[in-house]
C-alpha cells in the first residue's frame, strides 16, 4: 500500500509549510500542489542556490519527481510564466 503524506496549514500566513514539503520531497515520488494561488510563496535553498516558488511545487527542483498542480489551484498565467 502506498504511503501518503499531506501537509496542511492550521494558521494564516507563513507557517513554514514550504520547508516541510521540501524536506519530505526527498523521499516522495509525487509532489502535488492541491489548492491556493500565487500569493503564497516559499523559498527553497538547494546547493546554496535560492529559489522562490509561488505556483510550481517545490518537488520540481529535485530529480525524478512527478509534480502536479491540482484543479484547486488558482492559476494566474502571468504569475506562472
Catalytic residues: 14, 42
What is the greatest pairwise CA distance in the chain? 39
Strands 42-46 and 66-73: unpaired
- β-pair type (49-53, 42-46): antiparallel
Amino acid at each position: 500500500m502506498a504511503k501518503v503524506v499531506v501537509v496542511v496549514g492550521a494558521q494564516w500566513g507563513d507557517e513554514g509549510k514550504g520547508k516541510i514539503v521540501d524536506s519530505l520531497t526527498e523521499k516522495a515520488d509525487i509532489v502535488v500542489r492541491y489548492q491556493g494561488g500565487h500569493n503564497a510563496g516559499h523559498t527553497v535553498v538547494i546547493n546554496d542556490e535560492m529559489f522562490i516558488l509561488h505556483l510550481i511545487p517545490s518537488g520540481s527542483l529535485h530529480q525524478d519527481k512527478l509534480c502536479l498542480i491540482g484543479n484547486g489551484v488558482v492559476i494566474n498565467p502571468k504569475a506562472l510564466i
